[in-house]
């Protein structure tokens, strides 16, 4: 069965992730319709996917209204965040299965409205939580599930955003504003909260969080700094966030994300012109951003598991790191390198089969001489280096699971999928963390 997809939103995710996967797997999926208000984006995706002229829509509402006529098997919602819920509700009413980009909703009441509608209609909805589909996290999960390291006691996840990435997305970019998008703990780290919820296997009991917008504020602008980097900034040589150094120099050979957001002309002259007039050329201290630039969250679960999530704009690397401590072992990992290190405390413990990992060395640690296995998990390039394209293999695995489930006419699949309520818990956790941060108190689940 070839699954016929309607793509709502022809931006980076709609085009470069979902439509591209369909084009690479024509025996599995076909883009049968596309909706996007921008003609150049809509036509580029449609031409690449061979979408019929009559199935190219400026308005996503018209695409969903024609779902039966087009013969759609599902829709992919990759629209701006604030439109996710209206589009999903319309697709639920139309009886079409949905792959919904995160965040599913940007406000608690909208999230619960979506959940209620899904329950009432028996809707089939997958949330685009790609991390649980990454070989890196799946390898760690297999070790935990095997029982080799005992019961999970603590889980520490660090979301190292990278100073250049934060400036692009959360100071100058689409997720800089609470009113236009959502809190940073939802927009950026609902993936991390989903992984924590996935490992816990239950809803939390309480959440506490703190953080603030500390640095990217007008009072921290260099003396004499103008509104835009190219307007003669006296700190151009020393400022870590000088826009031309990032978009024109460092990314000179890149024409995808993030420079694709500058516009259609990606020549050096076109990039420079975009920085003179567009949002990505603004001084990071004189933008209209209001989301936090760092946040720490502690999540406790009824089982006794305590999980922490640390998020910061001020990191040199753009990666996630994790450490799990268990009653009979410990795991540490770095998503950027793909390295996972598993300590087994018991002399008789053994790791399970790990098909998505490659053992690189084994050794022992004093004073007990317990065994340690170091491995690399995740896709690699032809040169043998970690391949971070497509969220380190997570995008392709998510779409594969989605299409497989549709073809088999059953929800879920066996590649880390979970029920909708558990997926939405990551959003509920994010909203609770933001309440805790603002109100300065611990939030108890369900209270």
In 3-state terms the chain splits into helix, strand, coil percentages (rounded to 5) of: 40, 20, 40
Q: What is the mean pLDDT of residues 324-329?
A: 98
Q: Higher-confidence residue: 402 or 414?
A: 402
pLDDT at residue 418, as a whole number = 45
On the question of pLDDT at 213 being above 90, the answer is: yes
Q: What is the mean pLDDT of residues 141-146?
A: 98
pLDDT at residue 409, as a whole number = 65
- The domain limits of the chain are 3-127, 132-216+291-393+424-444, 218-281
Q: What is the mean pLDDT of residues 246-264?
A: 93
Measured between alpha carbons, how far is 93 from 109 in angstroms, rounded to an integer? 19
On the question of pLDDT at 194 being above 60, the answer is: yes
pLDDT tens, position by position, 51-86: 999 999 999 999 999 999 999 999 999 999 999 999
Measured between alpha carbons, how far is 329 from 143 in angstroms, rounded to an integer? 10
% of the chain residues with pLDDT over 70: 98
pLDDT tens, position by position, 287-316: 999 999 999 999 999 999 999 999 999 999
pLDDT tens, position by position, 389-410: 888 889 999 999 999 999 886 4
CATH entry 3.30.360.10 includes domain 132-216+291-393+424-444: yes
Concatenate the DSSP letters of all residues of 297-365 into one string: EEEE-TTS-EEEEEEES--SS-EEEEEEEETTEEEEEETTTTEEEEEE-STT------TTEEEEEEEEE
Q: What is the mean pLDDT of residues 314-341?
A: 97
* CB-CB contact of 405 with 397 (8 Å): no
Buried b (16+ CB within 10 A) or exposed e, 187-209: bbbbbbbbbbbbbbeeebebbbb
Q: How far is C-alpha 286 from the chain's CA centre? A: 27
* CB-CB contact of 301 with 151 (8 Å): no
Residues pairing with 30 in the sheet: 4
Q: What is the CATH number of domain 3-127?
A: 3.40.50.720
Residues pairing with 332 in the sheet: 323, 341
pLDDT at residue 381, as a whole number = 81
CB-neighbour burial class of residue 144 (10 A; exposed 0-12, middle 13-18, buried 19+): buried
Measured between alpha carbons, how far is 421 from 413 in angstroms, rounded to an integer? 16
- Total Cβ atoms within 10 A of residue 108: 15
Q: What is the mean pLDDT of residues 197-212?
A: 97
Q: What is the mean pLDDT of residues 338-342?
A: 97
- Total Cβ atoms within 10 A of residue 135: 21
Instruction: Read off the pTM.
Output: 0.93
% of the chain residues with pLDDT over 90: 89
Mean pLDDT over each residue of the chain, to the nearest integer: 94
CA atoms within 13 A on the CB side of 231: 12
pLDDT at residue 386, as a whole number = 80
H-helix or E-strand spanning residue 208: strand 206-212
């Amino acid at each position: 069965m070839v699954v016929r997809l309607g793509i709502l939103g022809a931006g980076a995710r709609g085009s470069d992730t979902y439509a591209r996967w369909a084009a690479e797997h024509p025996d599995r999926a076909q883009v049968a319709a596309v909706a996007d208000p921008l003609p150049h984006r809509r036509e580029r995706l449609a031409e690449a996917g061979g979408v019929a002229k009559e199935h190219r829509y400026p308005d996503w509402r018209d695409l969903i209204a024609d779902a039966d006529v087009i013969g759609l098997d599902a829709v992919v919602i990759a629209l701006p965040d604030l439109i996710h819920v209206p589009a999903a509700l319309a697709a639920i009413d139309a009886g079409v299965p949905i792959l919904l980009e995160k965040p599913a909703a940007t406000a608690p009441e909208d999230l619960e409205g979506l959940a209620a509608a899904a329950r009432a209609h028996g809707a089939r909805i997958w949330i685009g939580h790609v991390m649980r589909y990454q070989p890196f996290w799946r390898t760690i999960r297999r070790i935990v599930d095997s029982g080799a390291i005992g019961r999970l006691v603590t889980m520490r996840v660090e979301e190292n955003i990278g100073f250049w990435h934060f400036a692009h997305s959360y100071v100058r970019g689409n997720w800089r504003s609470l009113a236009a998008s959502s809190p940073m703990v939802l927009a950026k780290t609902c993936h991390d909260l989903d992984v924590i919820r996935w490992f816990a296997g239950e809803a939390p009991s309480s959440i506490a969080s703190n953080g603030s917008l500390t640095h990217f504020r007008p009072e921290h602008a260099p003396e004499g700094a103008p509104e835009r980097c190219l307007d003669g900034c006296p700190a151009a040589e020393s400022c870590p966030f000088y826009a031309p150094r990032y978009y024109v120099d460092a990314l000179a050979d890149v024409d995808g994300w993030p420079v694709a957001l500058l516009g259609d002309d990606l020549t050096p002259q076109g990039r420079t012109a975009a920085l003179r007039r567009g949002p990505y050329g603004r001084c990071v201290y004189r933008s209209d951003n209001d989301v936090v630039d760092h946040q720490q969250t502690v999540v406790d679960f009824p089982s006794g598991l305590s999980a922490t999530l640390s998020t910061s704009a001020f990191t040199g690397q753009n990666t996630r790191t994790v450490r799990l401590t268990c009653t009979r072992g410990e795991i540490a990992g770095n998503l950027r390198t793909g390295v996972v290190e598993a300590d087994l405390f018991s002399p008789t413990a053994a790791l399970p089969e790990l098909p998505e990992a490659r053992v690189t060395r084994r050794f022992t640690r004093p004073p007990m001489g317990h065994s340690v296995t170091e491995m690399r998990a995740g896709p690699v390039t032809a040169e043998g280096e970690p391949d971070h394209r497509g969220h380190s293999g997570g995008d392709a695995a998510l779409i594969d699971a989605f299409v497989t489930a549709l073809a088999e006419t059953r929800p879920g699949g066996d590649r880390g999928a979970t029920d909708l309520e558990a997926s939405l818990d990551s959003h509920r956790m994010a909203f609770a963390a933001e309440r805790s941060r603002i109100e300065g108190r611990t939030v108890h689940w369900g209270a």
